[in-house]
Structure 1
């Protein structure tokens, strides 16, 4: 699974335009970008989810 596209610069710029200090806007954008990184998310179609489900039912 790939990460959700997220424009951190645009987000930080919008925060700054709303009055958020530049350093805080950048940190918030970086943190939110990490949240949107779903490359390690396990879904029903993922073999790891199936393995876990089978182990749990034993």
Structure 2
């Protein structure tokens, strides 16, 4: 999708971008279970794009 981790965290509605980035890294490393809604949301973004107001510019 071409997003930074902080942009992805914001697009996924994590209220604190820093905490969202930490959680995303833990999901990637397998240190924490990925919540069921996250893969579905990412697939939605992949198919239809991310609304511009969901993210800040890089």
User: TM-score by structure 2 length?
Assistant: 0.33
User: TM-score by structure 1 length?
Assistant: 0.33
**Which one has a bigger Cα radius of gyration?**
1
